[in-house]
């Protein structure tokens, strides 16, 4: 780990594993878009009482040492910068529905319960234009451990790019990303050998960058059997 000199404007570009793979296969990097992030910035250092005046209110922030670019894309850009209208009074947020309790962040599947769960997503504080999508989807979500739950949403593959989430290192090779439109998606518990296995799910609105996470507890250890309503002969 190293630090960049905060006294000058510096661009430190480091290729991710995906970028290196493209070059290795003889491809070229035709970069057409980029994302800015303020991860690592401490805004509590903003000082409106600075004796030198308003031009120096953010002096302490501007002099913060910046970490060098990370080669692990999955750990970058958790807090991306976005542009909002001048009359905006609140940062957009996602509100979950379909949890164990109202306003909760846990979804539990128990023996004898439903074999699927609908997760509702409500974007508050912002009116979406619908013009900004990722692969045609307004939302995407990441299942940290897809061996515990599955989904009917469209798969977007593994996490080869930035995902806005800080995943446990051992889960990065297995985590899967999915896209959906509308205001809900469905998850399904996968039968486990022991009850109580858990995984996290992270949901992101593409246009605003608003994100929320919830925990899934899977207590399903028995096969679901269909019960015949009438006796049938062999």
CA neighbor of 194 nearest in space, from 167, 226, 217, 172: 217
CA neighbor of 203 nearest in space, from 96, 82, 83, 75: 96
Tens of pLDDT along the chain (234 residues)?
455 555 666 676 777 777 888 899 998 888 876 767 777 788 899 999 999 999 999 989 888 877 676 666 555 666 667 777 777 777 889 999 999 998 899 999 998 877 889 999 999 988 877 788 888 999 999 998 999 999 999 998 766 545 555 565 556 678 888 999 999 999 999 999 999 999 999 998 988 888 899 999 999 997 655 545 555 555
Q: Is residue 81 a part of any domain in this protein?
A: no
User: Residue 1's pLDDT is what?
Assistant: 43
Q: Please count the structural domains in the chain.
A: 2
95: tokens are: 């509100």
User: Residue 147's pLDDT is what?
Assistant: 93
User: Residue 141's pLDDT is what?
Assistant: 93
CA distances from 141 to 118, 159, 178, 182, 205 (A): 14, 11, 5, 13, 9
Range of the domain at 61: 1-71
191: tokens are: 């039968």
User: Residue 170's pLDDT is what?
Assistant: 54
Q: With the C-alpha atoms ordered 167, 196, 178, 104, is the resulting torsion angle positive or negative?
A: negative
**Residues 164, 206: Cα–Cα separation, whole Å:** 11
Same domain, 116 and 56: no
Same domain, 183 and 120: yes
Q: Say which CATH number the domain at 98 has.
A: 2.60.40.1080
Q: Which residue has the tokens 């780990």?
A: 1
């Amino acid at each position: 780990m190293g630090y960049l000199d905060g006294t000058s404007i510096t661009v430190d570009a480091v290729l991710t594993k995906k970028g290196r793979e493209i070059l290795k296969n003889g491809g070229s990097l035709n970069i057409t878009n980029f994302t800015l992030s303020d991860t690592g910035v401490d805004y509590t250092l903003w000082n409106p009482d600075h004796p030198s005046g308003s031009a120096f209110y953010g002096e302490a922030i501007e002099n913060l040492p910046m970490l060098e670019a990370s080669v692990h894309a999955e750990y970058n850009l958790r807090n991306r910068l976005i542009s909002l209208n001048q009359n905006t009074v609140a940062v957009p947020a996602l509100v979950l529905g379909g949890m164990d309790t109202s306003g909760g962040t846990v979804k539990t599947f128990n023996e004898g319960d439903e074999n699927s769960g609908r997760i509702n997503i409500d974007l508050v504080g912002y009116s979406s234009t619908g013009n900004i999508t990722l692969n045609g989807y307004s939302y995407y979500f990441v299942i940290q451990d897809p061996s515990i739950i599955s989904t009917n949403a469209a798969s977007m593959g593994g996490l080869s790019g930035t995902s806005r989430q800080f995943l446990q290192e051992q889960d990065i090779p297995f985590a899967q990303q999915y896209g959906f439109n509308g205001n809900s998606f469905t998850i399904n518990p996968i039968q486990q050998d022991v009850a109580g296995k858990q995984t996290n799910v992270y949901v992101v609105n593409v246009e605003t960058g608003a994100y929320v996470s919830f925990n899934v507890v899977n207590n399903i250890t028995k096969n679901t059997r269909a019960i015949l309503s009438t006796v049938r002969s062999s």
